Structure 1
Amino acid sequence: MKVLLVDDNIRMAERIAYHLSRDFAFDSAESAEEALDKVDQSDYAVIVLDLNLPGMSGLECCRELRRRRNNTPIIILTGQNAVQTRVELLDAGADDYLSKPFQISELRARLSALIRRGQTRRHDAQIKCADLEINSTQRLVKRAGQEICLRRKEFDILHYLALNQGRILTREMIINNVWSDKTTSWISTVDVHIKHLRDKIDRPFDKPLLKTVYGVGYKLDAPRS
């Protein structure tokens, strides 16, 4: 599959494509708007976005892709190395970022890692637990055929629980797999998200799937007949 390289610096884009042409096939775009058009027409293994694009920025493009429920792995190239910038990129839905200047070998390694991660995502695209259906590619959730709207972190927690059906997951495990900032202050936040999840996927239906194991954590489990 192809890598979409989005950069208005044509010389930089050509340099990347030249040095990595043995490993990846590249398609290119010089603006976020052009990239969004290409993504609508083709599937890509990874999208490489420059942060400082003309018009719509790489950050805004990343947000728009996630708003459209496009789950293609995204790496953003940035000349800014501030912590706040990195946090904004990850919060916008980027899977990785690489600060300029960078070595081509590091970009190659990160692209390979994202492609492997993307392949794993596709294998786990459809998950079922009783009448609950989760499509991780489109980030869609349905129960009993009814679509349920979840916030980003709610979906991420539910997806992690679904991948581990029947297994008790502690709050720390959920934090380590869902949040990039793994500070203890997120402990109570997990409980809040679980409450919101329960309100959406359990309370309107007859049989609860999301269960609390008091003093330990949570699990998603189909009811026994």
Structure 2
Amino acid sequence: MSATARARGLVLVVEDEPAIADVIRLNLVNAGYGVHVENSGDTALDAVRRFKPAAIILDVGLPGIDGVEICRRLRAAEDWTPVLFVTARDDEVDRVVGLELGADDYVTKPFSPRELVARVTGVLRRVNGTPDAAPRTLGGLTVDTTQRRVFHGDQELTLTATEFDLLAYLIRRPGRVVTREQLLSEVWGYSAVAGTRTVDVHIAQLRAKLGAASPIRTVRGVGYSAE
């Protein structure tokens, strides 16, 4: 059942367990979001096309097409709607695969509904936040925070919302070493209890997309810097 999108935008929840879906829906509605729920992967892609959600909460273990494949198909179609994976499996491999596919965040069951809502809010705040007045440049990269676009020379690069925010955060602080814990707090909006491996996976994906133009340097035992 679809709900009229509220001021904070519509969130598509794809979850096959009705009790969990209902808890997520109630907490999102209480936070001011519109919500549409689908209970299978087979109907999720059509719902994305119909509702054009601001964000997607996507269970990994869905009947039919699973959450990983849904995310893969969205990114292959150049749809970069923020995706937050939810899974019952607390497996590092699953988490890494999800992030490598272009997911913006990842939580495991059981989870705090308030934390999940906070993570949705954090992603959307970054996407819709107040941009810098002028593009930032470093080496051959230009980061336009007004339009959330990245260029290497004349070539535009496609990044997820989180990859963009990581790059923008580092490029605003050229030469400064930033710890993984700082990145989790400032970019994701939550503490290091979530695990700094998330940062490393996103940095690896970001470097792969930037290629030789990547300004990101690893400072062993500390974190990262852009130079």
Q: Do they superpose with TM above 0.5? A: yes
Match of 2:114 among 105, 119, 126: 105
Give the whole-Å Cα distance in 2 for the aligned partners of 1:174 and 1:195. Answer: 22
Q: Which runs of 5+ in 1 are unaligned?
A: 199-209, 211-216, 220-225
What SS class does the counterpart of residue 106 from structure 2 fall into? strand
Match runs of 1:175-214 below 5 Å: 180-182=198-200, 196-197=212-213
Who is 1:74 aligned against? 83
Give the whole-Å Cα distance in 2 for the aligned partners of 1:168 and 1:138. Answer: 19
Give the TM-score taking structure 1 as reference length.
Answer: 0.61
Give the whole-Å Cα distance in 2 for the aligned partners of 1:140 and 1:70. Answer: 16
Conservation of the 8 A alpha-carbon contact between 1:6 and 1:35? yes
Give the TM-score taking structure 2 as reference length.
Answer: 0.61
- Superposition RMSD in Å: 4.3
Q: Percent identity?
A: 27
Match runs of 1:42-191 below 5 Å: 42-120=51-129, 123=131, 141=151, 143-144=153-154, 147=155, 160=168, 164=172, 168-169=174-175, 180-182=198-200
Who is 1:17 aligned against? 25
Who is 1:4 aligned against? 12
Give the whole-Å Cα distance in 1 for the aligned partners of 2:69 and 2:28. Answer: 26
Deviations 1:90-115 (A, max 9, x none): 11211111211123222222222222
Q: CA deviation at 1:36?
A: 1.7
Q: Which runs of 5+ in 2 are unaligned?
A: 1-8, 188-196, 216-224
Which runs of at least 4 in structure 1 moved beyond 4 Å after TM superposition? 126-129, 131-144, 147-152, 155-159, 172-179, 192-195
Q: CA deviation at 1:27?
A: 0.9
Give the whole-Å Cα distance in 2 for the aligned partners of 1:180 and 1:44. Answer: 24
Match of 2:38 among 7, 29, 41: 29
What SS class does the counterpart of residue 71 from structure 1 fall into? coil
